[in-house]
Amino acid sequence: METVLNGANTLLKDGDVDIGISPFPYPNGFSEDLCDIEFIAVAHPSHPLHELNRTLTLDDLKSYRQIVVRDSSTERKAESGWLGAEQRWTVSHVRTSIDIISQGLGFAWLPLAIISDKLEDGTLKPLPMEQGGLRKAMLHLCFADGDRLGPAARAFIGELRYQTMLLPSADSLDNN
């Protein structure tokens, strides 16, 4: 199940899943720092923000449509990141956000690991931010009771730990 913000912890709390990956530690069980995820401010190359041809500030962004992904928790109590745009479109999935931004209809901070191919092929372009163009968030591996995890869950956790070591970083963008 894919979740956003508090969604994974809600599923754990309700007993719907055994393992969760969340930007928030799980308060009723075990949480382990899994990896940092880098979010980069991007828009389509022909978006008006890129046509300003200068370094941008957060004030510059206020007049343009921001695409945000809503908290998938039923409680929907978490907000994360900069939400200062006068106009926002809220979507329920990060892929929808990527599709909208790829069509030139807004900007957002998107996970570098998911959009690296769109940056490489030129579908998306980093916004030239004076500051705040790159944000990091820690993802936590969470579960209620490690003794209840079976061999498949334990193998999955091992592979997950290994795969997160291979995630791209913004440092790799500078080398292109």
163: which residues sit within 8 A by CB, 6+ positions away? none
Level-2 CATH architecture, domain 7-174: 3-Layer(aba) Sandwich (3.40)
Q: Give the residue extent of every domain in the chain.
A: 7-174
| pLDDT tens-digit readout, 121-132 | 999 999 999 998
Residue of 24, 58, 18, 25 lying closest to 41 (CA atoms): 58
> In this structure, what are the phi and psi dihedrals at residue 172, rounded to the nearest 5 degrees?
-70, -25
Residue stretches of the chain with pLDDT short of 70 = 1-7, 70-84, 168-176
Give residue 77's pLDDT. Answer: 57
pTM of the full predicted structure?
0.74
Say what the pLDDT of residue 94 is: 85
From the list 21, 34, 55, the residue with the least C-alpha distance to 126 is: 55
